[in-house]
Structure 1
Amino acid sequence: MRLYRMQELKDYIQQHEKASIDELCQAMRVSKSTLRRDLDLLAGEGWIEKVYGGVKYRDSSQLIPYENRGVLNAEAKRAIGRRAGELVEEGDVLFLDSGTTTPYMLESLSGKHVTVLTHSISVINAAGALPDVALFALPGLYYPKTKSFRCMDTVAFLRKYNITKAFMAASGFSRSGVTNSATWEYDIKQYAAHNAQKVYLCIDSAKFGVTRMMTYCEAEQLTGIVCEAAPGEEWLEYLEEKGVELIL
């Protein structure tokens, strides 16, 4: 019960960026003494910072709003999305991650009979316009910053399906693995990356060497990385060492 409450508390603080003690007591339906113990634990783990009268999420500056991310490297994202879409084969069951790159994949899926599982509202809107795509929208609470859905039942829903290919987004890729800033998406990303037959990371080259808060996937788990340009020689050697194909 406490693990569920702690996850709910982390999700609430990250979504709102900051919150008062009274607000959190009401939202979590706990006493102030219970809440303070939970907050002490989160502060000790580095998730939050205590401020006067409440707390704030320590990593909030790293999660760029979806609208702003969409215009960063827009042409690279479109190229990556289209190339990733070319890796899809007839009959595939796909997991398409949230983010500003994966929606571009739908431009390459016209005429292909595939199944798409996603928690991204942008992918849902794009896939819904394609008559040959069977679309499953994962359930959950809507998070505006990532334009995605997530709740305690999202992963349980995802477990029902055998994913042939997962196309993942990330805030960074480094020797720490595939990392992300949005903690509320961690369990979804981790499950998809661990259970798909093939896993493709769709990132632009600027994200190589970047590490964010949580690692949801190790490099060895990746089938390939779809990128608009080759990273430095150091990363080419690292990908070869890990058996990860670079797809330009």
Structure 2
Amino acid sequence: MKTKRLQDIENYIISHEIVSLDELCKKFNVSKNTIRRDINTILGTGTIKKVYGGVTVADPVLIPFSKRDTSNQAEKIAISKCAAQFIKEDDIVFIDSGTTTRYIVDFIPATLSATIVTNNLDVINSAASLPNIRIVIVGNVYKRETNSFISLDNQNTFDKFNIDKAFMATTGLSLTHGLTNSDFLEFPIKKEIVAKSNKLFVLVDHSKFDHYTLLTYLNLDRIDVLITDEKLKNEYEIYCKEHEIKVYQTSEENSLDNHTESGYKQSHK
């Protein structure tokens, strides 16, 4: 029981990047003394460090991909499944690096023909088994910590690309800071792709809302479709409605009667 709680606490801190002790006590329904003891144990893994009043990840850029992928995995798979339904015949799509977007290819029909542009190694490996998918790889340096290719040897790489749809991930999402990322070498790829894409899909689970990291790569008003796992807070609902952002949420509370033709509830039209 304690071992599972420790793992859950570590995953929660990794997904949020910085949290207070009070937030952890409330989330895991334990006393402050208990959470302090748990934090002291987790410190030994090297993934987190103490800050005033709380804890943060030791280095957001260096968190092992395997650890980040365990956080909210079921929700991420459901989000990817929803996103895959928007990929149509002959589309040219970009699939971003990240622990949510990596599952999209698992739900693409084997008969569908499309071009996937990506820097995500998991996407590359999965797409390689689909005979009708053309794969274009971007990034010239492999980064083990994120299981992706980063850095561009030529800043004009994307000038010749025409992207129909981009499926983007984010480390944090907020009304004030938009979509954020911590990696200076991934940042140029994200910026170039969102500038070249006709339609932008953002895949984000509930843990990423109201959080931000060092670099903003996209303002929220540029999003066309937001796919998440839970109902949005009121302020996000209002923002999306005002900016005509279509929202799909995949929580199990949706009844079949409320599903759109894509198979998921759409918050507004």
Q: Report if TM-score (shorter chain) is over 0.5.
A: yes
In structure 1, what is the Cα distance between the partners aligned to 2:181 and 2:116?
Answer: 22
In structure 2, what is the Cα distance between the partners aligned to 1:107 and 1:155?
Answer: 31
| Conserved 8 A contact 2:152-2:189 | no
In structure 2, what is the Cα distance between the partners aligned to 1:130 and 1:83?
Answer: 19
User: How far did residue 164 of structure 1 move?
Assistant: 0.1
Query: Is the helix fraction higher in 1 or 2?
Result: 1
Q: Is 1:142 matched up with 2:153?
A: no
- 1:72-111, Cα deviation, whole Å (9 max, x unpaired): 0000010000100001111110000001111211122122
In structure 2, what is the Cα distance between the partners aligned to 1:131 and 1:182?
Answer: 33
Q: What TM-score does the superposition give when structure 1 sets the normalisation length? A: 0.73
| Conserved 8 A contact 2:151-2:188 | no
Q: Is 1:92 matched up with 2:91?
A: yes
| Conserved 8 A contact 1:138-1:154 | no
- 2:128 is matched by which residue type in structure 1? G
In structure 1, what is the Cα distance between the partners aligned to 2:222 and 2:240?
Answer: 12
Question: Match of 1:47?
Answer: none
| Conserved 8 A contact 1:95-1:165 | yes
| Conserved 8 A contact 1:194-1:217 | no
Q: Which runs of 5+ in 2 are unaligned?
A: 1-56, 250-269
In structure 2, the CA distance between the partners of 1:155 and 1:117, relative to structure 1 (3 Å rule), is farther
In structure 2, the CA distance between the partners of 1:60 and 1:153, relative to structure 1 (3 Å rule), is farther
| Conserved 8 A contact 1:141-1:150 | yes
What CA RMSD, in Å, does the superposition of the two structures yield over aligned residues? 1.7
Task: Report the identity percentage.
Answer: 30
What is the number of residues matched between the two proteins?
Answer: 191
User: How far did residue 198 of structure 1 move?
Assistant: 0.2
In structure 2, what is the Cα distance between the partners aligned to 1:122 and 1:155?
Answer: 24
- 1:96 is matched by which residue type in structure 2? I
Which SS does the other structure have where 1:197 is aligned?
A: strand
How do residues 106-121 of structure 1 correspond to structure 2 at under 5 angstroms? 106-110=105-109, 111-121=111-121
Q: Is 1:76 matched up with 2:71?
A: no
- 2:174 is matched by which residue type in structure 1? S
Question: Match of 2:156?
Answer: 156
In structure 2, what is the Cα distance between the partners aligned to 1:179 and 1:202?
Answer: 13
- 1:180-228, Cα deviation, whole Å (9 max, x unpaired): 1122100100111122000001110111111111000011111111111
In structure 2, what is the Cα distance between the partners aligned to 1:142 and 1:203?
Answer: 24
| Conserved 8 A contact 2:161-2:196 | no
